[in-house]
A and B are shown apart, each in its own frame.
Chain A
């Protein structure tokens, strides 16, 4: 190709580029900033066109439901004409989106801002090993698309928050709360009350699950039942407390079921009621909740909340199930992983005190560490003192070491509990106690790549 021809082609491409940029500017969709600073566009959601009848493909695809008196043609058509937004593509959202898509819900929205991690796959069965690193909403959408061409699936790769929640929720008929944190639960509740949408809410932890439908059929909203958020230190997330994968799976399936019952006209069983699932005993129990509260701050007679508020401030916790790093100790009461590594290399006498729960200690631990869970530490201080004396005496057996000189390093998973432990130890006279900043997670990333993380 001649130089002139190339120049002409470059000019043509420049023009095309300008035209595309101008088109993009005209397309004024709200921009959203994710926590890691990436700008996402909210997908544009066009109006959902309702159908008057099922076509032949739909009849054969959904025949098993058409045969049921409870669903039938009219019920199936209602499912087709209903749009459902699932917030959270995790342990609850995974089975929920799959069953909703499979059942013939016409349009499904999926909101999540996290990427898939390997530790998710034990319960988040909408994702798989090939999706690790992919955005969860995209991964869930890919699964839905492979499952059913009858479902129009829209992914929101974004953190839902006060600034965008109303825009996200407005086009949808029913909202599913499949989130993992307190702040987003209050946000979704308030947004659903303001927008007049039913909220099918599920939650799970360890061996327990709970399910309620809020803001529906004259029943209470989440705030009617829980006017004040729990103190942050009383909230356990799945990444700390653990969860048996099938437990959120069961609750997520029940959420899909209640959505289908609402959408098809059968009606929900869980307005003003809470289902408690105890996997240990295999018991399902339904309790009756109080009714809609006339004094509720958002759905009461004189609401004090008429617009979405700052939910992170309200709950004192971020909209995530990750545990944030805290700084409780001054620098001279902490040691870095590198410093502690040289203590080990030099074989300097010391006690390594591991204050994690014993179930975590059993997963992995550094050799020669003493496990005393933080909650037991205060009543086991004599064990700690004895072990520290033994460790110190390895070098200087004849010398009685004063308590305030015993060398103690405290470690935990991430370096939060270890600081609380050092504060406690110092209050009780162990003045040389230090924690290992960043805990075993940082030990694995900085010192020993073969050390397991969980």
Chain B
């Protein structure tokens, strides 16, 4: 069995992912446990889950500016960002920052 990851979307990010705020995915075997990182997850999400234009989600190999990423409730900067090694049952949250008022 592949890695199971819980994805959550907030602040309008869900509009890019079929308007689903939570989604649990089982990653294919190409994701090697103890090796696969967020850097692998993002393009997989883009190719398999994204329902809108890719540039609204990614820029280069990372998320576009204005998206906060949390790994198990902590700012991903504290976890190594793209180099973070995925673990079974991780929760990854994508938050689009709001500017309206």
Contacts and interface: CB of A to CB of B under 8 A. Distances in A.
A321 B59 contact: no
A243 B100 contact: yes
B97 A204 contact: no
A160 B68 CA distance: 27
Interface in B17-46: 21
Interface string B53-79: 001100100001110101001110110
A280 B20 CA distance: 12
Contact of A231 (B52, B59, B70, B73): B59
Contact of A236 (B68, B73, B77, B100): B100
B98 A203 contact: yes
Interface string A268-282: 000000101010110
Contact of A203 (B52, B65, B75, B100): B100
Contact of B99 (A93, A185, A290): A185
Nearest to A87: B101
Interface in A201-217: 202-206, 208-210
A226 B97 contact: yes
A202 B100 CA distance: 9
B101 A91 contact: yes
Contacts of A208: 10-12, 98
A117 B96 CA distance: 28
B55 to A, nearest CB: 7
Contact of B101 (A88, A226, A234, A241): A88
B12 A93 contact: no
Nearest to A185: B99
Contacts of A7: none
A225 B76 CA distance: 11
B12 A236 contact: yes
Contacts, number: 100
Which residue, of A92, A226, A280, has the highest number of chain B Cβ atoms within 10 A? A226
A204 B77 CA distance: 24
A238 B10 contact: no
Given A276-B11, A288-B75, A375-B52, A210 B101 contact: no
Interface stretch (A20-28, A144-152, A176-184, A358-366): A176-184
A176 to B, nearest CB: 10
Interface centre among A92, A93, A288 (most CB of B within 10 A): A288
A238 B75 contact: no
A246 B100 CA distance: 14
A288 B75 CA distance: 6
Contact of A289 (B21, B66, B75, B101): B75
A228 interface: yes
A237 interface: yes
Given A210-B11, A375-B52, A235 B99 contact: yes
B11 to A, nearest CB: 5
Contact of A288 (B11, B52, B74): B74
Most interface-central of B11, B96, B99 (chain A CB within 10 A) = B99
A287 interface: yes
A318 B97 CA distance: 18
Contacts of A209: 98
Contacts of A226: 65-66, 97
A288 B96 CA distance: 16
Contacts of B97: 203, 210, 226, 230
Given A208-B11, A225-B68, A290 B101 contact: no
A248 interface: yes
B64 A248 contact: no
A241 B73 contact: no
Interface in A108-149: none
A72 interface: no
B42 to A, nearest CB: 16
B100 A241 contact: yes
B95 interface: yes
A288 B74 CA distance: 6
A91 B59 CA distance: 32
A206 B14 CA distance: 12
A292 to B, nearest CB: 12
7 contacts: A90-B101, A182-B99, A204-B101, A238-B100, A287-B68, A287-B73, A289-B68
Top 10 closest A-B pairs, CB basis?
Answer: A230-B66, A228-B65, A203-B98, A92-B101, A205-B100, A238-B100, A180-B101, A290-B77, A290-B75, A205-B98
Interface of A: 88, 90-93, 178-182, 185, 202-206, 208-210, 225-231, 233-238, 241, 243, 248, 274, 276, 278, 280-281, 287-290, 321, 375
Interface of B: 10-12, 21, 52, 55-56, 59, 64-66, 68, 70, 73-75, 77-78, 93, 95-101
Given A92-B101, A203-B101, 20 more contacts: A178-B101, A180-B99, A181-B99, A182-B99, A205-B11, A208-B11, A208-B12, A225-B68, A226-B65, A226-B97, A230-B99, A231-B65, A237-B100, A287-B70, A287-B74, A287-B93, A288-B75, A289-B68, A290-B77, A321-B100
